[in-house]
Structure 1
Amino acid sequence: MTQNKHAGESTYENLQTIYVSIELSKNTWLITSISPGAGEKLSRHSVPGGDIAGLLARLAQLKQKARDRTGQDYPFVTIQEAGLDGFWVHRVLEAEGHESHVVDAASIATSRRRRRVKTDRLDGETMIRALLAFKRGEPRVCSMLSVPTPFEEDRRRIVRERKVLMEERIRHSNRIKGLLFSQGIRGYDPLRRDRRERLETLRTGDGRELPVHLKSQVLRELDRMEMLLDQIKAVEAERDAMLAEEQRSAREVVMLTKVVGIGPEFAAVLWGEGLFRHFDNRRQVAAYAGLAPTPWQSGSIDREQGIGKSGNPRLRSTLLEMAWLWLRHQPASELSRWFNERVAQNGGRFKKVMITALARKLVVALWKYVTAGVVIEGARVRP
């Protein structure tokens, strides 16, 4: 303990930077800092949530106190968790000339006790320790996010909004079908253009006309669903215009849309949610998509726990959907043959497990395709 304490004191005494962690919440921002000349003492101060002026004023106070103690000025290095506040605080700090980092909270090691203590105070201290270790160059101590530019962040809004609208449309459609099914009516499709005309001709399973209040509820559901359909058309038109504009400036978007089986929506999600980023290797690509395997090895125990799901959930769900469609549109490709051979070896079982592996191989292959021009073997590409 004595040796560790002395080592810690030596580290803190040699600080040449003011390290700050910002625990963001809706009501309060907790600012935890450690400064040169203060030893191991951590300073804590809170400002109202969203008070960026109060945050900057607190940083100025920390700088003045460090100058009073040591007679020198020190730079800031800040850290915050990715959360509801997005990246605007990070951008303000960088605009002020401070080094700022946004960390994936799930990547910071925590206590494995069944009931671990968690408070904003402890989270602030944990982020400070993670930041110190990160700046010392310790590998895998935490994962810092690659913050997108405002343009890159805004470009993803279109595909995300469409996904939300599609989910709402499906809920209204299913609710209409459920209401009619309870009266013995089957086969009614709310998405058909003649949905209102067909509604007038429906009869219940025992031959009655639709009850008055039930019919009124269905009509109101149709009103909401038709509004969603109009909004989906508007979003899709905006998406197509954005892709057309990017096809004139981004070679990668053109390459994606030429692959048979990848339409405008898939191309927009693939490029906007993942492939526009820089990756050093295929493992980083699979990890960002949340498709990296998570082995569990301890002594003689060696088993797989499935995919990590720690990456981009929108990209992962799109890739899983696209993997099923890839088998239909690209049956002669090497990836489809690999999938069919592996499924055949298992007697037709474990298709869901193998489709996840196919999605992982597919995103890596597409990454190689858009970055290095390596065409997937056997895949059909439009001229």
Structure 2
Amino acid sequence: MNENAKSSVSVYAAIELSKSTWLVAVLSPSSDRVKLRQVRGGDTAALVGMLESTQASAAQIDGCPTEIVVCFEAGYDGFWLARFLRKRGIRTSVLDSTSFPVNRRSRRAKTDRLDAESMVRMFRSFDQGDKTVCREVRIPAPEEEDAKRLDRERLQLSAERTRHVNRIRALLNLHGIRQVKALWGGDWRKWLQVVRTADDQPLGKFLAAELSREFERLELVHAHIRDLDRQLEDGLKDGTLCIPNVDKVHRIATLKGIGRLSAVLLVSEVFHRQFAIESVWRAFLAWHQVRMQVGL
């Protein structure tokens, strides 16, 4: 079944995902009343069975061919469920929750039931042509989604590296040691043996042990970052880095001040999206110009 095809009558279902329970709000064509169903979190067989049963019941009531149309919010569960449902002929959309309209004049209770009911009504309007009520998220291919792990893991490792460096500096600063060697490589073990505090004392036994553990963690993070950088370079060279429009990476990397990692990050996380291309490109060039002016 073509995932973009629509029958004359549609049953809409919005899934509120959580670890223990999947709450499904169903809106039939013959009624404006939202019905709620529950399946155990992760039980895809029960979910598909419930959706197919709902579709069959609606077809029997309306007396015409009926399709089931499903949506859920992008988030912790990723995109695997959308791919799973689409493979089984169920038209599925993933919605950007930040695009949902919010009534700022009044405070509303937030529960899974209310969220699911609101989402299914909003999705029906969206599917029937009102594109102002929410925004659909592009579902990446598994290989494309997997390729993003390189730059995302590297960002996490860079943050972890900063934490270890700051911790080492802070521990040494407590004893007046401001010049720290071997943070970015080198024989830190030898340096720890000879370094002395500002009042000419050797490092305490427990302080030296704690610093050794921090340096060991930092050394491991350095190794992981180097390994990721090699994988990134190899993937760009042999074409196995499955991000969309990889040619943009090479073009963006030619700009002054932007390396390959930043180029990959921009292409995989930003420039694959459906924007007004001219406005985004102008904004990017303006950002880059300011970045160079301030010396970042």
TM-score normalised per structure 2: 0.87
CA separation of 1:205 and 1:251: change in aligned 2, threshold 3 A? closer
Q: Which of 327, 330, 334 is the matching residue for 2:293?
A: 327
Query: 2:162 aligned with 1:170, yes or no?
Result: yes
How many residue pairs get aligned? The number is 284
Once the two structures are superposed, the pairs formed by residues 110-189 of structure 1 within 5 Å of their partners are 110-113=102-105, 115-189=107-181
| Counterpart for residue 49 of structure 1 | 41
CA contact (8 A) 1:247 1:253 kept: no
| Counterpart for residue 244 of structure 1 | 237
Q: Distance in 1 between matches of 2:246 and 2:93?
A: 28
CA contact (8 A) 1:159 1:268 kept: yes
Q: Which runs of 5+ in 2 are unaligned?
A: 1-7
Q: Distance in 1 between matches of 2:156 and 2:240?
A: 25
Q: Distance in 2 between matches of 1:46 and 1:195?
A: 57
Q: Which runs of 5+ in 1 are unaligned?
A: 1-14, 292-315, 330-354, 356-383
| Counterpart for residue 99 of structure 1 | 91
CA separation of 1:324 and 1:236: change in aligned 2, threshold 3 A? farther
Q: Which of 5, 16, 26 is the matching residue for 2:19?
A: 26
| Counterpart for residue 198 of structure 1 | 191
Question: What's the offset of the Cα at 1:260?
Answer: 3.2
Question: What's the offset of the Cα at 1:104?
Answer: 1.1
Q: Which of 245, 258, 262 is the matching residue for 1:266?
A: 262
CA contact (8 A) 2:95 2:135 kept: yes
Q: Distance in 2 between matches of 1:112 and 1:218?
A: 50
Q: Kindly, what percent of the aligned residue pairs are identical?
A: 34
**After the TM superposition, which of the residue ranges 258-267 and 99-108 deviates more from structure 2?**
258-267
State the structure with bigger RCO (CA 8 A, min sep 6), 1 or 2.
2
Q: Distance in 1 between matches of 2:153 and 2:159?
A: 10
CA offsets, 1:72-97, max 9 Å, x none?
A: 33011111111100011111111111
Q: Distance in 2 between matches of 1:271 and 1:177?
A: 35
Q: Distance in 2 between matches of 1:178 and 1:120?
A: 44
RMSD: 2.6
| Counterpart for residue 3 of structure 2 | none
Q: Which of 61, 67, 71 is the matching residue for 2:63?
A: 71
Which residue type is aligned with residue 167 of structure 2? R
CA separation of 1:118 and 1:328: change in aligned 2, threshold 3 A? closer
